[in-house]
Amino acid sequence: MIRRWKTWALLVGLVAALSAFGGLAAAQGKTAGPTAKAGGVTMTWWHNATIGPQRAYWQKVANDFHKLHPNVTVKPVPIQNEQLQNTKIPLALQSNDPPDIFQQWGGGALATQVKAGKVADITKYVKPWISSLGGAVAGWQYQGKQYGIPYNLGVVGFWYNKALFKQAGISGPPATWQNLFSDVTKLKAANIVPIAIGSKDRWPDAFYWDYLAVRLCSKATLDKAAVSLVFTDPCWIKAGTLTQQLLDSKPFQDGFLGTPAQQGASSSAGMIGNGQAAMELQGHWDEGTMNSLTPNQKGIGSNLGWFPFPSVPGGHGIPGAALGGGDGYSCSWKAPQPTCAQFLQYLVSKPVQTGWAKLGIGLPTAKGAEVGISDPILRAVATARSKSPFVETYLDIAYPTAVGQALDSAIADLFAGAKNPKQVVDAIAKSAKSSH
């Protein structure tokens, strides 16, 4: 995400600002705007829904769009998330044959792609309707122009097993950082893995450091760092110091450094879904992911709960601020732009978003589509999103690509015992200096 998109000023105002698609076209799930030229157009669509109901739903969306526009064929290509984000998309955008539509997380990565001329400017095609998504669209803009659209926007928090908490004598979720340590001790005493983590993929490690920075650093410091890429405030090193304290308490499963986040039943998400750990710090999508990795596709059912990241006494962060982000899609430089933009409009139309919301895997951006959220936990996450005074974008996404990668690598080294808190900040600052 572009550096100035360090936060989304959320979210009572943002969610209220999301307005419904206007006109008969949106009401019927149709889209206004240009259609494909005679002779037909075929577009490839890369997304990360390789398992579970979302994969089938995205195929249905492509099929339904074709029914509405017979001269346009959209071919979904499911690719595993880490491969898609870290390898497939970067390589494809450098080639002469990129996908027409690809998953886009916005921010610094988007800015990097735009500067390289790899993403289509769709501003003129989406101008008639993009304001209906309110402030959520800012994360997919660069220098005032639109290079993608968000369909999912949420926050990170702890998913937990109520039955395991009760077994360990814990009456409720921890409200403070000290409470979290106390609960870790109780869970270990009950021979329960306190926290599952997928450190093999590195970015789950960063959630801890990022969130502690949100709690410890003032908003002014966070904002300044996102623009200047200067990390001299003591709060950055302190975030690493508290992360190290958590690591020293040994809260994670054995072999956590080699555990993937979302791939297979033995992943950290699979551990929560199969009742093998008490907690996981993850995004709003985690329930759908963990359930898909269990035999009954339902996980631990009513024993699953969610709570926000604990407060950190003495921090300068705004109380209730959250860490989060979203998912969206962009059109590549080679895509048939009017038609690609037309498909993106269809993706965020109220009927399509309502159907997607019913899958229970995310939080839609289209006004009114939240009625599709039947899962009480996701409704709680949506409420937390709405009440948050602001949501800090995942820092590895908020910063330019190279800096975000350096951040993930440095924090992963902290988790592996190869760096100390100061060395983490030094590594990020070094990458930031090189990026200027």
| 268-286 pLDDT, tens digit each | 999 999 999 999 999 998 9
CA 160 – CA 41 distance, rounded (Å): 46
- Is residue 425 within 8 Å of 240, Cβ to Cβ? yes
pLDDT at 19: 33
Q: Do domains 8-155+323-393 and 157-320 have the same CATH topology?
A: yes
Structure tokens at 298: 């339902």
CA 416 to chain centre: 24
Residues of the chain with pLDDT under 50: 1-38
- Is residue 237 within 8 Å of 425, Cβ to Cβ? yes
The domain segmentation of the chain, as residue ranges, is: 8-155+323-393, 157-320
Question: What does 329-376 look like in DSSP terms, one character per residue?
Answer: EEEBTTS-HHHHHHHHHHHTSHHHHHHHHTTSS--B-STTGGGG---H
Q: How do beta strands 391-393 and 322-331 pair? A: parallel
pLDDT at 39: 60
Architecture of the domain whose range is 157-320: 3-Layer(aba) Sandwich (3.40)
pLDDT at 107: 83
CATH code for residues 8-155+323-393? 3.40.190.10
pLDDT at 14: 34
pLDDT at 98: 97
pTM for this model (two decimals): 0.77
pLDDT at 244: 98
Q: 3-class DSSP state for residue 290?
A: helix
CA 198 – CA 286 distance, rounded (Å): 12
pLDDT at 267: 97
Q: 213 φ, ψ to 5°?
A: -65, -40
CA 436 – CA 431 distance, rounded (Å): 9
pLDDT at 370: 87
